[in-house]
Copies of this chain bind each other. A is one copy, B any other.
Amino acid sequence: MFFKVKTPEEVIEILNGFGPISMETIPISEALTRILSSEVVSEEDMPGFSRSSMDGYAVRAKDTFGASDSLPAFLELAGEVVMGREPEGSVVSGKVMRISTGGMIPDGADAVVMLEYCHSIDEKTIEVSRTVAPLENVIGKGDDFRKGDVIFKKGAVLRPQDIGLLAGLGMQNISVYKKPKVGIISTGDEVIPIDQKPEPGQVRDINSYTLSAFCLQAGAVPVNMGLCKDNFEEMRKKAGKVLEDCDTVLISGGSSVGSRDMTVKVLESFEGMELLVHGIAISPGKPTIIARIGRKAVFGLPGHVASAMVVAEIFLKPFLARLAGKIRASGDVRQSLQAKLERNVESTGGRDDYIRVKLRERDGKLFAEPVFGKSGLISTLVEADGLVKIDRNTEGLYKGQTVSVMLFGPFEQEE
């Protein structure tokens, strides 16, 4: 079968054909960073009653008009609003009630005078030395939200204050998209479990640990299926199981051509398999395979860990965000920083190059130093803070040029 290498844009377009998986209802205390699967409408006014936003005296604003230090108003104390209770009594003209922040505004009152502008003259008389306007220092019923208001749109990512609002409205559980379950198979005859001592020619399983952590970081649930030899039957069986259990599958290829061919053969053995991508015009990461089996996407990732990470950052991250229900178009879910490039970087045309860079801060400015090295080396990834793209229509980037650095994680300057 002849397959043309796809552009990154074509690959993103193909991945945009996949959508959110399914929904579940969870307690709001577990909902941080989860994504709403439907809009949320307030079932009540919030706050449910008018409250004071200050400690002071609830008054009829009119009774304070003209009051000042030199010409205070003298009003009669009619009682106190107890926190958490409906006020006993109301405020009629010429009277006030003591009220604390958060207390319920009594009937008749329409404003609160702050404590510092009030003096108790005797048990019954309060001297008010300040004019307040109606509604001053009052949070009205429904000022936050009214019954029927849409408080969150579908697709909203929940932050601490959003969870606080749901709590305030008494919503103990909320409907969100499920986190995508990602099955990870690491292949290659040379790869051994990490608790074993490698014999000559063997290496420990770096890729499934890196990819598992990557999926966690992306808000997905990794299911590490362990190692698989480059053996058709074994790989076929494992892939079949993962396809049943998970929402998407990553096969971290052995790095050799033979290993990659085996992955394709295994995928082809599934009925209705559609090979969507066989090679992408990026470097590193070209030998990437993406197939559709049923409604699920299967990724055959390059064996070199740096190549696999670039493909994961550029394609897998936005793909997982889509599965998780993010409404934004793919490609915009990463965080980036602007920095000045420290040296020229040449590039071959015809493909997008992604170079690893290390960030440094000098005199309050950020600089990006390219980290060169073969994509089979993990040290280049460990040293780097992020990736810089060299577009396939340019010949390279120049020293001093401002570039956008896609961060691997929060950047923290070394001491």
Binding site for B on A (CB under 8 A): 28-29, 31-33, 46-49, 51, 53, 55, 81-87, 100-104, 115, 139, 143-145, 151, 153, 157-172, 188-192, 194-214, 216-217, 224, 230, 254-259, 303-305, 309, 326-328, 332-333, 335, 374-379, 381-382, 408-410, 412-415
Question: CB distance B256 to A83 under 8 Å?
Answer: yes
Q: Provide a sorted-by-A list of 17 A–B residue pairs whose CB atoms are within 8 angstroms.
A: A32-B217, A81-B201, A83-B230, A83-B259, A84-B188, A84-B202, A101-B376, A102-B255, A102-B303, A157-B410, A159-B213, A161-B305, A163-B209, A164-B381, A165-B206, A165-B378, A170-B194
Question: CB distance A204 to B170 under 8 Å?
Answer: yes
Q: Give the 7 A-B CB pairs with smallest separation, nearest first.
A: A164-B210, A100-B256, A84-B190, A167-B209, A160-B213, A101-B255, A161-B381
**Nearest chain-B residue to A138 (Cβ)?**
B374
| CA of A28 to CA of B100, assembled, Å | 51
Question: CB distance B198 to A48 under 8 Å?
Answer: yes
Question: CB distance B332 to A412 under 8 Å?
Answer: yes
Residues of B within 8 A of A51 (CB): 203, 376
Residues of B within 8 A of A169 (CB): 204
Residues of B within 8 A of A212 (CB): 29, 160, 163
> Would A164 and B256 be within 8 Å (CB), given that A32-B217, A195-B172 are in contact?
no
- Interchain nearest-CB distance for A74 vs B (Å): 24
Residues of B within 8 A of A47 (CB): 203
